[in-house]
Structure 1
Amino acid sequence: MVNLPIEYSGKPVTPFGGMALMKRFVDQTGIREHLATLDLPRGGSNCAYDPVHVIESFWLGIWTGASRYIHCDWLRQDETLAAIFGYDRLPSQSTYSRFFGRFSQARNTAVFPALQRWFFEQIHVGAVTVDFDSTVITREGSQEGTAKGYNPNRKGRNSHHPLIAFISQTRMVANAWLRPGNTAACSNCVEFMRETFDEALAGVKVGLVRADSGFYTNDILSTLEERSVPYIIAAKAYANLKNEIHGMKDWVEVCPGIAVKEWLQQPANPKAKARRHIVVRKQTSRRPQAGGKLLFEDLPDYRFSLYVTNLDLPLDQIWNIYNTRADCENRIRELKQDFGLDAFCLQDFWATEASFRFIMVAYNLISLFRHFALNSHNQATLATLRSYCFAIGAWVSHHARKRVLKLSLPRQKRPWMDSISQQIEARPPPFAYSTA
C-alpha cells in the first residue's frame, strides 16, 4: 500500500460547514435579539465579550460535539466557523467559567422563565402534555450542591438531582431546575410546577400532566386539582393501596394476560374528594416481558402497575396514554450523551445551573430545527444530525468583492442542502405544529 505524501496549508477550513444551516435557523427564530433584552451578566473590561456572543458560542460548542468547557477551546482555532456565525473569534474556557460564575439564584430565576416563555410564544401547538421527571447526574468532585443520594448506577457517589418538565408534542424542555443530590424526586415540585405553568408556559394550555411515582404526593395532586389540570401519575404501592388491590375481583381483561380495575381512594383529608385509582395486572406466564412490580408473594405470576388520575376515560386508554411518557427517558439519554448535560459543571451551584438551563435551550433549538427544517430526519438525535447535516467541509472565499462560504458537497447532494435552506427561509415564526 502506497502512502500519500503529506503537505500543509494555512487555508482556514472548517469540518462543520453545515452549521451554516443552523445559523440561518437561529437568525430566523430571533432568539439573539431576545437574549439581548434579558438581564445577562456583563464583563467589566472594554474587551469583554458580549453576553449573547458567549451564549451562542456555548451552544455552538455543544452542537459540534463539546461535552466539557475545555472542549469549547477547540473551536477557537476554527476561523471559518466563527465567520459563519459573524464573529471574529470565539471565547475560551475561562471566559465561559467567568460568565456563568456571575449567575446567582436571583438572576437564574429572572432570566430562564422569561426566556422559556418567549420561546414558547413563538410556537403554536395547542394544548400540551407536560411530563415531569427527574434524573441523577453523578459528579466526580465536591462541587456545591453535590451530595450522596439515590444513585442507581454509581451508589454512594456525589450527585445532582435535577427536575425537568418535558413537552411531549414538541419533544422539548419546558423548564428545568438543578437540585442537590440528596433531594427527593418530589422536593420543590409544587414550586417548580408553579414556575412552569405560570411563567415558562404562560399563555400555553396544559392539557395533561404525567409523572412517575416519585411525584405521587398529596401536595402535588392537590395543586393540580386546584388548577383543574388533568393528570395521570403513577401511584406508589402503599400498604392501604395493596390491601385494596389484593382483595379485588371481577377484573376486566383488555387483552391476553392484561387485566385492569379501578376504585376510588379517599385521601387522608376526609373533606377532600376521593381520587380515581387504576391498577393494571400483568400475568408473566403469558407475558414474560411485562413490566410492573411484584406486590404479593402469594401471587408470583402477576406484576402490577398503579395510577391515579382525574380523567374520565376508559381504563385501557388511561394506561396507553401514560405509557407514551416513556419517551422522557429517551430525551434524558440524548441530553446526557449528545448535549453534555452531565459533564458541564462548575464549582458554584448557580453557575452550574445556569449552564444546565442554557443546555436545555440549545436542545430546544435543535428540536425546533429538526422538526421544521429536516422533514426526513425530524426524529434524529444530535449525534445523527452532526454526521448527516453539520459535518461538511467548508471555507470562506472572496467573489465579486463578497465573502462566500464554499461547501464541499458532491453534486448530487447539493439540491438537498438547497432544499433545507429554502425550508428554513419559508418558515418564519410563529412555528405551528400540526395537531392532525
Structure 2
Amino acid sequence: MGERTKRPQKPIPEAIQSMIVDTMGGRVQVSWDKESAATPFGQLVFFAEFQKVSGLFDAWVEECPLIYNSPNAPKKRDVLGTWDLSILAGHRRYAHVTGLRSDGVSPQILGMSKIVSEDALRRALGKIPEGEGTEWMRKHLFKSAKAACDTPWILDIDTTIKTLFGHQQGAEVGYNPHKPGRPSHAYHAYWVGNLRLLLDVEVTAGNTTASNHAQPGLNRVLDTLSAEQRPYLVRGDCGFGNDAVIREMEARQQSYLFKLRQSPRVKRLLQREFTRRDWADAGQGWEGREDTIQLAGWQQSRRVVILRRLLKDHLIATQEHQGQLEFAFVDRRQTKVYEYAVLVTDIQEGILSIAQLYRDRADAENGFDELKNQWGWGGYTTRDLARCRLSARAVGLVYNWWSWYSRLAFPGSRREAITSRPLLLSAIGRSTKHAGQIHLFLTPMHAAQKKVERGIENIRRGLRIVRETAEQFLEHQPWDLLVSYIVAQITRSPWSPPGTFPALAGP
C-alpha cells in the first residue's frame, strides 16, 4: 500500500477561534459570532406592533419633507428609523448611533434596510427645510397628545435651560441657575398637565427665557385646539403672572392660574392680609385668603389667592454686616416665619382647590427632569439651531409614543423611562429565518419577569381589540381608538368607540 496522502488542513475561521479568558469563575472560551442576528432590544417587536396598529410611525415617515436627489442616498425610512431607535434607546448624542450599527434585528422589525451612520443622520436632518420640518414635527407631536384633550385637562407652560459647551447658533448667556455664566438654549414647553404629554416645545436662544418669548407658542397651541378641546385652565409660575399674558388669556376667554412676583404692591397686600386672623385651610399645612389687586400697568383689578405656611423646622437667620457674617437662632416661641405665594386666577374655585391645583404644577418639573436626564433633551446638539429644534421635537414625539405605550402595559401607574425601558424594551433577542418565517427568541434579563409578561399581555390584548374594532368602524382612526382605549384602562371604565354601544366594541 502506498503512503497515505496528507490533506492540508483548512484554517479555522477567525470568527470561530476561541479565546481563553481567565475569570474569577474559571477559564472561559470566548469567540465572536458575527453572523447571527441579535439585539439588546428584543422587546422592541411589541412596540413596533404598537406603532403599526396606531399608524403613527408610517405617517411620520411618509410626511417627512426630506428629499434626496442621489440614487445612492439612504432611504427616508432608514434615516427616521435610526433616529427613532436612537431616541428610544436613551441616546443623548448622534455619536451614540454607532453603537446600534451591528444590530441585526431592530432594522428588520421597523421595516428598515439598515441603520444609517451618525454622519448620514446629521446630514439628512440638515437637508430638511426648516419651515417645512417645523410644521411636520409640530403636526405629529401635537397629534400624539391631542387625543388626551377630549376630557378636562390643564395646560402647563414652563421653561427649562439646556447648557451648551460649544459655539452653537443661539448659544447666548442668560438665566442659567445650574451653570451661571455659561451659554445655553431655552426650551419653552407646553404640557398636558399630570399626564406629562408634550404638546410642543420651542427652542430659542439662551437669553430669551422671559414669558414674552413663550407666549407666541402658547397662543399657537391654543389656536390649534378646537373649542371642545380647550384646557380647563392654563397654569404657569411667576414668569407668566404678568399683564401681557393675562390679558391674552382673558381676550381668548381662557381660564388661567399664575403666580405673582414680589412687587411692591404685592408686598403691601401681604402686609395687610397678614394682620387678619380669618385664614382658611388650604391643605398640606397651608392657609389661604382671597382678595383683589390691581398692579402697576394693569387696566383692572383681578382676583388673587394668598397662601402661607408656617415653617416649623429649626431656623437660623444670617446677615452680612461689614464683611462679617452674623447669624441668630430663630426662637419659634416668639417669632413665626412663613413661606408664602400669591396666585392670580379667574376661576371660581375655592381656596383649597386653587391651592391644590397650583401644587400639582410641580409635576411639570418631573417631566423636564425625565426628558433631560432619561431621554435626549440634554443632547443631540448641532451648530445650527434648526436641527436642535427638530431633535427637541423628535425626542418629545418618541417620548409621547412611549408614554402611551407604557400606560397601555401598566394602566395603574406612570413609569419613567429609567423604569419602563428595562421592563418593556430590554431583552436579548436572537432572530432566525426558516421557510420564509422569521422567529425571534427572547431571553429576559429582568428579575420581574412575571410583571413583564403581564404588561406585554395587556399590550397585545389592547392592540387586538383596537385592530378588530378599527376593521368594523372605518370612520374612526386607529390612533384615536387606541388612545380612548388606554384612557378607559387608566380610569377603569368600560370602553367603546364614540357613537357605539360598549357591547359592539369587544371586552
TM (norm. structure 1) is 0.90
Structure having the higher Rg: 2
Over aligned residues, Cα RMSD in angstroms? 2.7
Note closer, same or farther for the CA distance 1:189–1:401 as it changes in structure 2 (3 Å cut): closer
Q: Determine the C-alpha separation between the residues in 1 that align with 2:416 and 2:210.
A: 27
Specify which of 385, 404, 412 is matched with residue 349 of structure 1: 385
What's the counterpart of residue 82 of structure 2?
57
2:439 aligned with 1:404, yes or no?
yes
Note closer, same or farther for the CA distance 1:121–1:318 as it changes in structure 2 (3 Å cut): closer
Q: Determine the C-alpha separation between the residues in 1 that align with 2:284 and 2:178.
A: 35
Deviation of residue 185 (structure 1)?
A: 2.9
What's the counterpart of residue 23 of structure 1?
48
Note closer, same or farther for the CA distance 1:31–1:49 as it changes in structure 2 (3 Å cut): farther
What's the counterpart of residue 272 of structure 2?
247
What's the counterpart of residue 176 of structure 1?
201
Q: Determine the C-alpha separation between the residues in 2 that align with 1:72 and 1:170.
A: 30
Q: Determine the C-alpha separation between the residues in 1 that align with 2:156 and 2:382.
A: 28
Query: Any idea what SS the aligned residue of 1:4 has?
Result: strand
2:287 aligned with 1:259, yes or no?
yes
Q: Determine the C-alpha separation between the residues in 2 that align with 1:68 and 1:225.
A: 42
Q: Determine the C-alpha separation between the residues in 1 that align with 2:139 and 2:165.
A: 32
Deviation of residue 118 (structure 1)?
A: 3.1
Give per-residue Cα distances to partners, 1:52-100, cap 9 Å, x unaligned: 4322321211211311101012111111121121222111111221122
Note closer, same or farther for the CA distance 1:60–1:176 as it changes in structure 2 (3 Å cut): same
Q: Determine the C-alpha separation between the residues in 2 that align with 1:39 and 1:200.
A: 23
Query: Any idea what SS the aligned residue of 1:188 has?
Result: helix
- Is this contact kept in 1: 2:142–2:200, CA < 8 A? no
Note closer, same or farther for the CA distance 1:128–1:253 as it changes in structure 2 (3 Å cut): closer
- Is this contact kept in 2: 1:116–1:200, CA < 8 A? no
Q: Determine the C-alpha separation between the residues in 1 that align with 2:430 and 2:251.
A: 58
Query: Any idea what SS the aligned residue of 1:136 has?
Result: strand
Task: Structure 1 unaligned segments of length 5 or more: list them.
Answer: 289-296
2:474 aligned with 1:424, yes or no?
no
Q: Determine the C-alpha separation between the residues in 2 that align with 1:243 and 1:198.
A: 37
What's the counterpart of residue 224 of structure 2?
199
Q: Determine the C-alpha separation between the residues in 2 that align with 1:59 and 1:282.
A: 46
What's the counterpart of residue 210 of structure 2?
185
AA aligned opposite 1:335: L
Specify which of 424, 449, 452 is matched with residue 389 of structure 1: 424
Q: Determine the C-alpha separation between the residues in 1 that align with 2:129 and 2:180.
A: 30
Task: Structure 2 unaligned segments of length 5 or more: list them.
Answer: 1-24, 316-329, 467-477, 494-507
Q: Determine the C-alpha separation between the residues in 2 that align with 1:89 and 1:203.
A: 43
TM (norm. structure 2) is 0.78
What's the counterpart of residue 307 of structure 2?
280
Residues 218-257 of structure 1: matches in 2 within 5 Å? 218-248=243-273, 249-254=276-281
AA aligned opposite 1:420: I
Deviation of residue 51 (structure 1)?
A: 3.2
What's the counterpart of residue 370 of structure 1?
406
- Is this contact kept in 1: 2:141–2:393, CA < 8 A? no
Q: Determine the C-alpha separation between the residues in 2 that align with 1:172 and 1:316.
A: 26
